[in-house]
Amino acid sequence: MEALLKDLEATVGADGMATGEAAAEQAFSPWARLGKPLAIVRPRSTAQVAAILRAAHAAGGSVVPWGGRTGLVDGASAEDQIALSLERMNAVEEIDPVAATMTVQAGCVLAAACDAADAAGLFLPLDLGARGSATLGGNISTNAGGNRVLRYGMMREMVLGLEAVLADGTIVSSMNRLIKNNTGYDLKQLFIGSEGTLGVVTRAVLRLRPKPASQNTGFLAVESFAALPKLLRHLEGELSGALSAFEVMWPEFYELVTTEPAKGRPVLPHGHPYYVLVETLGSHPDSDAERFEAVLAGALEAGLVSDAVIATSRAERERMWALRDDVSQVIQNGPIVIFDVSLPIPEMEAYVARIRADLTAKWPQATCVMFGHLGDGNLHVIAGAGDPKLRHQIEEVVYAPLRAFAGSVSAEHGIGLQKREFLGVSRSPAELAVMRTLKDALDPKHVLNPGKILG
């Protein structure tokens, strides 16, 4: 390892590498366990990434790719391993306004990329709570979702091409700029969502969209779960594809984020069974606002909604979204376990009832707070029973029913270390065998992010 560290320093320079206590001090994240890396290496180019991986592959060293370190499944844990941070590869290389594409380095922070697209009169739709620190490489490696999946899809739908470095240092450059390119295997899909276990994404070509000229936001009260999918389909049909968000908050979550010490205050009174944050993005500000108001009025008349508030300013819109994003209030209500699951919308009410009953049957003091991107079937569950030692038992309660409900143990956060034991709930033995075949083929020495996803 000493010889390997000397090779790495020769590649990136003394200012691009930290070891020992310096590496331990810099391995910080409020969200994840990063461990104490053997070294943190910060390359400036794809060529340097390739050199790092060639050296590690030859020496048998393990390399853990780092993005913004905002993941919630310990996918960046690098105990006694080499942490490969792409933070210095953070440039927006090009924006093509005619083709509506962006070429970007993997270390670029999501918010910076969105700002660059906006300045060019275009729109990068990806939006999530960690937008100010998550990197595009991390977003690609975890196939990030977020608040606008309902309209624009996951990160996978935004990637036209990418460049990745394999475990042995081979550079695979597939920087496709075409929307339609049906020429054999779509190699980029191997790396999107693979959490850095098959290759390190270094650059990407992203598809941009027209910049919205209007944004309309409403906060709704709904009296039954059965009304939620009816409301969703009503809005999708009446708004002609403009619906971009359909975020549902269960009352426990809403009360937490609107009661002191939380900074938020109720937009609608407490006491409703469900609260829904809806948003549209359009191109005609005046007519879009009129249509939005008329569609919500129709939902009220149809009994799908019992109360509603429409934001009339940017400040009011941000106030509504701040409630949805204030997960810190729930985290402080710990010790808790954060879950990110998905399942068919018709199964969601029964699933929620099942895990609530199972949790309270085992631990009468258990808490269970829920919210999520219900429009795409994604449910965030935050559960606790007052004792951190109960974590694994709580995981079993939350994950086990997903098999019967045809659900997924991870909607958007990935598998990492935390969920690998439960991957079989959502994947068949044949699927897992194919995953292992791919890992062995592209990384036979298991150099890249070892132990993640498959163990």
CA distance 414 to 428: 17
Q: Measured between alpha carbons, how far is residue 325 from residues 86, 249, 276, 356 in Å?
A: 27, 11, 13, 23
Q: Which residues pair with 39 in a beta bridge?
A: 19, 82
Q: Measured between alpha carbons, how far is residue 328 from residues 10, 129, 324 in Å?
A: 42, 11, 11
pLDDT bin (cut points 50, 70, 90) of residue 330 is confident
Q: Which CATH class is domain 333-438?
A: alpha beta
Q: Measured at the alpha carbon of residue 92, what is the angle toward residues 91 and 94, in degrees to the nearest 5?
A: 135
CA distance 267 to 250: 14
H-helix or E-strand spanning residue 77: none
Closest by CA position to 250, among listed 116, 395, 349: 349
Question: What integer pLDDT is reported at residue 150 of this predicted model?
Answer: 93
| CB of 10 closer than 8 Å to CB of 4 | no
Residues of the chain with CATH 3.30.70.2740: 333-438
Q: Is 287 exposed, middle or buried (0-12, 13-18, 19+ CB in 10 A)?
A: exposed
| CB of 343 closer than 8 Å to CB of 404 | no
Question: What integer pLDDT is reported at residue 437 of this predicted model?
Answer: 98
| CB of 385 closer than 8 Å to CB of 394 | yes
Question: What integer pLDDT is reported at residue 33 of this predicted model?
Answer: 87
Q: Is the pLDDT of residue 308 over 80?
A: yes
Q: Is the pLDDT of residue 182 over 80?
A: yes
Residues of the chain with CATH 3.30.70.2190: 214-328
Question: What integer pLDDT is reported at residue 30 of this predicted model?
Answer: 77
Q: Which two tokens stand for residue 156?
A: 């996978």
DSSP states of 433-452 as a string? Answer: HHHHHHHHHH-TT--BSTTS
Q: Is the pLDDT of residue 95 over 80?
A: yes
Q: Which two tokens stand for residue 446?
A: 């298991």
Mean pLDDT of 165-193: 96
Q: What is the pLDDT of residues 246-263, one digit of tens each?
A: 999 999 999 999 999 999
CA distance 251 to 273: 6
Question: What integer pLDDT is reported at residue 145 of this predicted model?
Answer: 94
H-helix or E-strand spanning residue 113: helix 110-119
Q: Is 132 exposed, middle or buried (0-12, 13-18, 19+ CB in 10 A)?
A: exposed
Q: What is the pLDDT of residues 281-298, one digit of tens each?
A: 999 999 999 999 999 999
CA distance 149 to 99: 22
CATH 3.30.70.2190 fits 214-328, yes or no: yes
Cα pseudo-dihedral 328, 334, 336, 338, rounded to 10: 0
In the chain, what percentage of residues exceed pLDDT 90? 92
CA distance 144 to 348: 22
DSSP assignment, residue 75? T
| CB of 178 closer than 8 Å to CB of 96 | no
Q: What is the pLDDT of residues 347-380, one digit of tens each?
A: 999 999 999 999 999 999 999 999 999 999 999 9
Q: Is the pLDDT of residue 1 over 90?
A: no
Who has greater pLDDT, 335 or 409? 409
pLDDT bin (cut points 50, 70, 90) of residue 240 is confident
Q: Look over the chain and give the mean of its residue pLDDT values, rounded to a whole number.
A: 95
Q: Is the pLDDT of residue 31 over 90?
A: no
Closest by CA position to 310, among listed 300, 302, 320: 320
